[in-house]
Amino acid sequence: MIIDIPDTTASKVARKLVKVREDGGQIALGRVLNLVILAQPDEIESSIEAANAASAEHPCRIIVVSDVGASDSDVLNAQIRVGGDAGASEVIVFSAATEVVAHTDTLIMPLLLPDAPIVAWWPSVVPDSPANEPIGSMAHTRLTDSVNSDNPQANIRKLRENHVPGDVDLAWTRATVWRGLVATALDQPPFDPVTAVEIAGDAAHPSLDLLGAWLANALDVPVTLQPIEGALGLTKVLLKRDSGDIEFTRNDGKRATLRQPNMPEQHINLPIRSLEDCLAEELRRLHPDMFYSEVLLKGLPKVVIV
C-alpha cells in the first residue's frame, strides 16, 4: 500500500504511520534498525528496491530523503509504503527543496525507531566527510558507493582523507568474495611468499584499488593495477611466487578460472555482486569494519596504477 502525503511535516507523517499500522494491522515489532537513504530523485526507486530486498534478512524502517534541488518552495512532500510495497520494512519517502531537507537529522527524528541502530546510505553522491553530515553524525554505520559516483577514483581517496571508523564504501564489500578466494589459495601448500601482485580490470572501479590495498597491506609486496578498457569490474588477480604464480581470471563477469602450478584449472562461479547482496552484508555487521579502515588508511597509498 502506498499513501501520498503532500505538503506535510515529519510529525504528521509519524502520526499517519501509527494510524496505518493500527487500521491495517501493520506492526513495528522485529525491526532491527533504521536505514536512512540520502537519494537523488532519479534513484529513489532503485534504492528502495535494494533496501527492500535486504530487509528480508534485516527488517527495518527505511527513510528516504531526496533533495530535489534549490527552490523557493518550502513544501515537504511525503509518501508511506507498507505491506507488499515495503518488503519486510516500512518505507517513508521525503522529497523537498535543498533548504528543507538540509538538516536531515531533525527532519527524520520523529520517524526513527527508538533504541535501534541507524545506518546512513548515500547511493551515489559521496559526501566529503560522511561522519560530519547531519545524519552521518547520528549513524552507527555510514555507507557510500563510490562505484556509482561521478568520479570513483577521486572519491575513494577523498573518503580516505576524511575516514572515521564506521564509514564503509560498498566497493570494499563488492570485493568480499575475491578476498575469500585469494586467502584460500594462499592458505594451501607450498606456502611460498608472494613477491608481487598484479590486478587488472575496469580502471574506474574502486574495488580494484581496495583489493590491491588489502594485498599490499597484508603481504607487504608491490601491487600494480592494470586498467583494461571495457572490463567488467575485476578481471584478473595474479600472485607471483618463485614456485609458480597463482592466477585468477574472470572475463565475463560470471565465472572465474584459477590456475596454479601442478594443479588442474578450476572454474568458480563468481558473478558480479548485486547491490542487494552488498547492502545486506553491511547491514549484517553494524559495527566498525577495522579491516576496511586499515586497508584504506595504510594499504591504499602502496598501490601503483600503471
**What percentage of the chain carries pLDDT values higher than 70?**
97
Residue 175 pLDDT class (50, 70, 90 cuts): very high
Supply 173's cell numbers: 564489500
* 166 φ, ψ (degrees, to nearest 5): 110, -20
Is the pLDDT at 257 greater than 80? The verdict is yes
Where helices occur in the chain by DSSP H, the ranges are: 10-24, 44-55, 98-101, 104-108, 152-161, 170-174, 176-186, 206-219, 275-285, 290-294
Residue 195 pLDDT class (50, 70, 90 cuts): very high
Quick one: 200 and 165 in the same domain? no
How far is the C-alpha of 135 from the C-alpha of 145, rounded, in Å? 16
User: Any idea what the Cα angle at residue 54 is, between residues 53 and 59, rounded to 5°?
Assistant: 105
The per-residue pLDDT for 27 is: 53
The per-residue pLDDT for 91 is: 94
pLDDT digits (tens, 9 = 90+) for 69-115: 888 888 999 999 987 766 767 899 999 999 988 889 999 999 999 98
Quick one: 160 and 182 in the same domain? no
The per-residue pLDDT for 189 is: 87
CA proximity to 119, closest of 53, 175, 67, 51 = 51
Range of the domain at 224: 174-269
Is the bond into 206 cis (omega within 30 degrees of 0)? no
Last residue of a domain, one of 169, 186, 203: 169
Quick one: 58 and 158 in the same domain? yes
C-alpha gyration radius of the chain: 22
Quick one: 8 and 66 in the same domain? yes
Q: Which residue has the higher pLDDT, 23 or 136?
A: 136
How far is the C-alpha of 150 from the C-alpha of 168, rounded, in Å? 18
The per-residue pLDDT for 73 is: 85
Quick one: 43 and 111 in the same domain? yes
Mean predicted confidence (pLDDT) in 36-41: 96
Is the pLDDT at 305 greater than 90? The verdict is no
Asked whether residue 277 is domain-assigned, the answer is no
Quick one: 143 and 182 in the same domain? no
Mean predicted confidence (pLDDT) in 2-12: 93
Supply 34's cell numbers: 533504521
Quick one: 76 and 160 in the same domain? yes
pLDDT digits (tens, 9 = 90+) for 116-165: 999 999 999 999 999 999 999 999 999 999 999 999 999 999 999 999 99
Residue 220 pLDDT class (50, 70, 90 cuts): very high
The per-residue pLDDT for 23 is: 77
The per-residue pLDDT for 288 is: 94
Quick one: 126 and 187 in the same domain? no
**Which range has the worst mean pLDDT, 30-39, 174-183, 214-223, 243-252?**
30-39
Quick one: 122 and 241 in the same domain? no
The per-residue pLDDT for 228 is: 93
Cell 587488472, residue located? 200
Quick one: 25 and 164 in the same domain? yes
How far is the C-alpha of 76 from the C-alpha of 196, rounded, in Å? 55
Quick one: 65 and 128 in the same domain? yes
How far is the C-alpha of 210 from the C-alpha of 155, rounded, in Å? 13
Supply 157's cell numbers: 581517496
Is the pLDDT at 26 greater than 60? The verdict is no
